[in-house]
Structure 1
Amino acid sequence: MATETSLQGNMRQGNLGDNFAQEQFSDKETFQWTKQWYPVAVVDFLDPSRPHAMQLLGKDIVLWRDGSSKWRCFEDFCPHRLAPLSEGRVEPDGTLLCAYHAWRFDYQGNCISIPQSKDQQTEAKNCSNPKSCAVAYPTQERQGLLWVWAEAGSQAQLESQSQTPRIVPELEEDSQRVVQGFWNIRDLPYGWDFFMENVADPAHVPVSHHGIVGNRYKDAKYYDMIPVREISTQEGFSYEITPVAATIEQAVHDFQPPCHMRIVSKSHDGGKLILALYAIPTRPGWCRHIGCQVFVKNEEGKLPQGLGIFGLPLPTWLGHVLSSLFLHQDMVFLHYEEKIVAQRSKGKWLDAVYTPNPQDKMVIAFRQWLEKRAGGGIPWNSGHGADLPPAEKDKQKLLDVWTTHTQQCMVCQKALKRINRLTVLAYVAAAVCFCLGLIVDARAVALKGAMLGQTTTSLLTVVPPAGFWWALAGTIIFAVVGYLLKKLSRLFYVYEFEHAHND
């Protein structure tokens, strides 16, 4: 299975380590990027009352739910004047209406109404013309995700039915032992390949995610990566980590193209933690990440330990908000790394990097699979080109959360509205408590002055009653709660992070 001939040059430079054996890439088959299922959204996070603009392989697409409560996908343009259908409306009859001239389309993309037609006969004739149809892509819902086949047309409908999406097998089981965590979704400002490279590299975890998962000074240790499943054009490959932590029996990273990385940690007691990670190539320099944790209890019903704080039973919206703490720890360098690699590699990734340790074996295998088996990269839609966008120097824009998640997530939008209401109520309650405290204090001073006939100067020395102190305490508590809620609401918009300050 293994051979060293394909990378002898790099080995002479010490780029792969003395004991690394490169997988053989003699298979002539090429991975077909468009003949695949891609998860593009989490169904529960979508607002069914309106269309949603998305991107896939550089194509602009629109998602919408029809009258039968099924989600559909069209290419995002009206055939009339090419206005975006994502700016249209989902009508009560379950059709998609273009907001420019009110053309309507059914779930198959057929145009069923052209209001400006001369008469019904003319309208029927124009609607029957294939040029009036929207471009429809096959869709299906599996495991809470909306999957889109990346080709349109009748042939694509047939081909899509013969292939199964990269689902999580454990979630198909009817077992009380399987517990699914919340789905998280986020648009990330770096490419699909850099996401996959990153999650194929467990060595970065205790360093990049210091303080959340591991410690950069204690846990960055030696290990090897052993091939478990041979490299396949269509099925990918997998590697096992050795040695592993004392509590772990086996840890395997399994790459399943086009978009799934399955990371399984099996405990000695029989429990399993599965990280189901998806990366969807949306446009050059960007990808969409969808992921969740799946817990498999052991025979005694004990759950395995999850990934940091994300293994706790968090509300979905809170998990989404806190995910920035984790995702931004990678984002702050992957965004720039992608641009540097593009400038320095000139298409030869292995020539540009120095990878002497065995921890990089899976990353190298991934890059070789991409180059030898998958055409060298994503075949972006020609309308978008393949040029990377420039590096974002404004950290607030780079670390933006609103446009990359919140505005697309119905769950987080509802949570944000509730938090904003509670913030206002907390500040109002603080103001009311403060006013009550002043009233109580003033009444106490006035009453004592009337009883004793004290002068104004001596009244200033009167100790406020208990009611004043309770009101003051309430003022402080409600003001602090309001401030903390305001800080929390900011995480729905932006989360700024620097490794230099992560002690």
Structure 2
Amino acid sequence: MNDYTEQSLSVNTDDIFQWTKQWYPIAVVDFLDPSHPNKVQLLGQDLVLWKDGTGQWRCFEDACPHRLAPLSEGRVEADGTLLCAYHAWRFEGTGKCVRIPQAKDAATESQICANVKACAKVYPTQEQQGLLWVWGESGSDALIESQSRQPRTISELETNSDQVVKLFWNIRDLPYGWDFFMENVADPAHVPVSHHGLVGNRYRDAQYYDMPRIREISTQEGFAFGVTTTNPTIINAVHDFQPPCLMKISSTFTDGGQLILALYATPTRPGWCRHIGCQILVKNNEGRTPKGLAFFALPMPTWLGHVLASLFLHQDLVFLHYQEKTLLMQQPEKWLDAVYTPNPQDKMVITLRQWLLKRAGGGVPWFGGSNLMYPPPQQDKRQLFDVWTTHTQHCTVCQKAVSRIERLKVLSYVGAMLLLLVALMVDARALSVQAVLMRAGESFLGIWPPVLFWVFLGLAATFGTTGYLLQRFSRLFYVYEFDHAQNH
């Protein structure tokens, strides 16, 4: 057994981490559509998010108490109630049922609505730093317990300082579990290799470094490791794991600026997690803004940042999906029995796995227990690169963008056809004039079409090319395939 494993195994055990008594970021508020219910998942439980008449986002179990029909298939009515589209029962934000049209009369309806069985199951929610957070349990006790704990927010975003620049939030459902997401972001050694060409070079930057422990392991507060980087522009780098959902990666530069990656992962269902992340740039004392991660810190609209995020996320997506499936098939008694981790770069990953084993009950306790099964490995890896169902269909910003791009594409193709028609008409007119001159016995300058024809033909080609490029670009909202063998 190597020294890195022994250090992780020697941590003293205290109370067990309670997965359901935590706040989880489940959505970016600005990307949600308030006009209808939004289906989400947390810890294996189907939930529905909706905005009530008071303007507050609510979270219910996605099951009507009447016959368990999914409330996410219902409607948000003009009066701010949530209507079940099966029998038109209506619920207000507190979960109380306020309308049952099948009741005999108003008195009977009021009596039925007053029964606790008629209430929807409500999960506490709150908005912090642009994110919608959901508590992992429902009920009156959960409401009280949730008030005693704060979400894992980013302290730098609470300063309201001009020195702090927050970039756009990104959100994506990923086809691998919470533990593999956290394992991946606890492992900076993979970055220049997996993300070759975007962040570093696999042949030049895959080097030795150590990861000294910065903060000791704690059941409730996690742990932190530093990175002894050889980058001359960075004087300090820290990976800070704050359970249940945050990996905060901070890099401090020699000029005093700082780059913070806020990387959240919420366990949604077995084999899947929801990632929400952003970059935070802290200016130095001279007001200079540091460089961000690759080109993602350049000024760009949010929807473009979301589309381009696939270029980064898909570079290690396939690894993590199949790693998880391989581990599940081997079913080792301990994670360390299945892997070989001889280098100090693996110390934080080992500690994460030991935290899970000794402090957090071995892993995420899914709602439904054994009734929920991990999906099998995807046989066609191209299916893993789906962007529409894992992001675009849930993001109002990207839906509007792709709609505009589709309109521009159609206009470009229509414009190309009209310009081509005009060019042909100009050419036809020129040919008719030449024919008249020939019959009159007068000379003319060859048979080439006039300049105006070439102008319109060139414009038609430009519009047609624009439409084609827009069509190719819009595909990024639906799928982006990546192959490391082609990434030279």
Q: TM-score, normalised on structure 2?
A: 0.97
Q: Report the secondary structure of 1:356's partner residue.
A: coil
Query: 8 Å contact 2:256–2:285 — kept in the other structure?
Result: yes
Q: Which residue of 2 aligns with 1:303?
A: 289
Query: In structure 1, which of residues 323, 331, 339 is the aligned counterpart of residue 317 of structure 2?
Result: 331
1:16 CA drift (Å): 4.7
Q: How many residues align?
A: 487
> Distance between the aligned counterparts of 1:26 and 1:416, measured in 2?
52
1:37-90 Cα deviation digits (max 9, x unpaired) = 000000000000000110000000000000111100000000000000000111
Q: Which residue of 2 aligns with 1:354?
A: 340
1:24 CA drift (Å): 3.0
Q: Does 1:100 align with 2:86?
A: yes
Q: Which residue of 1 aligns with 2:100?
A: 114
**Following superposition of structure 1 onto structure 2, how do residues 38-117 of structure 1 map, counting pairs within 5 Å?**
38-117=24-103
Q: Does 1:371 align with 2:396?
A: no
> Distance between the aligned counterparts of 2:378 and 2:213, measured in 1?
37
Query: In structure 1, which of residues 471, 474, 481 is the aligned counterpart of residue 466 of structure 2?
Result: 481
Q: Which residue of 1 aligns with 2:215?
A: 229
Residues 119 and 250 of structure 1: is their aligned pair in 2 closer, same or farther, counting only changes over 3 Å? same
Q: Which residue of 2 aligns with 1:158?
A: 144
> Distance between the aligned counterparts of 2:295 and 2:381, measured in 1?
25
**Following superposition of structure 1 onto structure 2, how do residues 183-198 of structure 1 map, counting pairs within 5 Å?**
183-198=169-184
> Distance between the aligned counterparts of 2:285 and 2:440, measured in 1?
78
Residues 445 and 107 of structure 1: is their aligned pair in 2 closer, same or farther, counting only changes over 3 Å? same
> Distance between the aligned counterparts of 1:52 and 1:127, measured in 2?
24
Q: Which residue of 1 aligns with 2:457?
A: 472
Q: Which residue of 2 aligns with 1:133?
A: 119
> Distance between the aligned counterparts of 2:333 and 2:131, measured in 1?
34
1:381 CA drift (Å): 0.5
Query: 8 Å contact 2:437–2:444 — kept in the other structure?
Result: no
1:23 CA drift (Å): 5.8
Q: Which residue of 1 aligns with 2:386?
A: 400
Structure 2 counterpart of 1:85, which letter?
A: L
Structure 1 counterpart of 2:482, which letter?
A: F
Query: In structure 2, which of residues 413, 436, 439 is the aligned counterpart of residue 453 of structure 1?
Result: 439
1:315-373 Cα deviation digits (max 9, x unpaired) = 10011111111111111111111000112242411010011111100000000001010
Q: Does 1:499 align with 2:476?
A: no
1:498 CA drift (Å): 1.0
1:180 CA drift (Å): 0.7
**Following superposition of structure 1 onto structure 2, how do residues 5-44 of structure 1 map, counting pairs within 5 Å?**
10-11=1-2, 16=4, 21-22=7-8, 24-44=10-30
1:430-471 Cα deviation digits (max 9, x unpaired) = 11111111111222222233224389xx99951222111111
> Distance between the aligned counterparts of 2:418 and 2:107, measured in 1?
69
Query: 8 Å contact 1:310–1:319 — kept in the other structure?
Result: yes
Tell me the C-alpha RMSD between the 2 structures: 1.6
Q: Does 1:168 align with 2:154?
A: yes
Q: Which residue of 2 aligns with 1:286?
A: 272
388-397 or 156-165, larger mean C-alpha shift: 388-397
> Distance between the aligned counterparts of 2:440 and 2:318, measured in 1?
66
> Distance between the aligned counterparts of 1:383 and 1:257, measured in 2?
21
1:267-320 Cα deviation digits (max 9, x unpaired) = 111111100000000000000000000111111111111111111111100111
1:395 CA drift (Å): 2.9
Q: Report the secondary structure of 1:225's partner residue.
A: coil
Structure 1 counterpart of 2:352, which letter?
A: F
1:22 CA drift (Å): 2.9
Query: 8 Å contact 2:8–2:354 — kept in the other structure?
Result: no
Structure 1 counterpart of 2:354, which letter?
A: Q
Structure 2 counterpart of 1:144, which letter?
A: G
> Distance between the aligned counterparts of 1:81 and 1:33, measured in 2?
29
> Distance between the aligned counterparts of 2:146 and 2:72, measured in 1?
24
> Distance between the aligned counterparts of 1:347 and 1:46, measured in 2?
41
Query: 8 Å contact 2:14–2:219 — kept in the other structure?
Result: no
Runs of 5+ unmatched residues, structure 1:
1-9
380-389 or 142-151, larger mean C-alpha shift: 380-389
> Distance between the aligned counterparts of 2:225 and 2:452, measured in 1?
67
Query: 8 Å contact 2:81–2:91 — kept in the other structure?
Result: yes
Query: 8 Å contact 2:69–2:86 — kept in the other structure?
Result: yes
Structure 1 counterpart of 2:120, which letter?
A: A
How many percent identity over aligned positions? 64
Which aligned runs of 4 or more in structure 1 are off by greater than 6 angstroms?
Answer: none
Structure 1 counterpart of 2:240, which letter?
A: D
> Distance between the aligned counterparts of 2:47 and 2:10, measured in 1?
37
Query: 8 Å contact 2:223–2:241 — kept in the other structure?
Result: yes
> Distance between the aligned counterparts of 1:386 and 1:104, measured in 2?
30
Q: Report the secondary structure of 1:107's partner residue.
A: coil
Query: 8 Å contact 1:253–1:261 — kept in the other structure?
Result: yes
> Distance between the aligned counterparts of 1:98 and 1:253, measured in 2?
45
1:383 CA drift (Å): 6.1
Q: Which residue of 2 aligns with 1:256?
A: 242
Query: 8 Å contact 1:283–1:384 — kept in the other structure?
Result: no
**Following superposition of structure 1 onto structure 2, how do residues 317-328 of structure 1 map, counting pairs within 5 Å?**
317-328=303-314
Q: Does 1:341 align with 2:305?
A: no
Runs of 5+ unmatched residues, structure 2:
none
Q: Which residue of 2 aligns with 1:4?
A: none
Q: Which residue of 2 aligns with 1:145?
A: 131
> Distance between the aligned counterparts of 1:30 and 1:265, measured in 2?
31
1:188-236 Cα deviation digits (max 9, x unpaired) = 0000000000000001011101111111111111110000000000000
Query: In structure 1, which of residues 200, 208, 221 is the aligned counterpart of residue 194 of structure 2?
Result: 208
Query: 8 Å contact 1:244–1:251 — kept in the other structure?
Result: no
Structure 2 counterpart of 1:121, which letter?
A: A
> Distance between the aligned counterparts of 1:362 and 1:454, measured in 2?
91
Q: Report the secondary structure of 2:212's partner residue.
A: strand
Query: 8 Å contact 1:449–1:459 — kept in the other structure?
Result: no
Query: 8 Å contact 1:104–1:111 — kept in the other structure?
Result: yes
> Distance between the aligned counterparts of 1:186 and 1:65, measured in 2?
22
Q: TM-score, normalised on structure 1?
A: 0.94
Q: Report the secondary structure of 1:494's partner residue.
A: coil
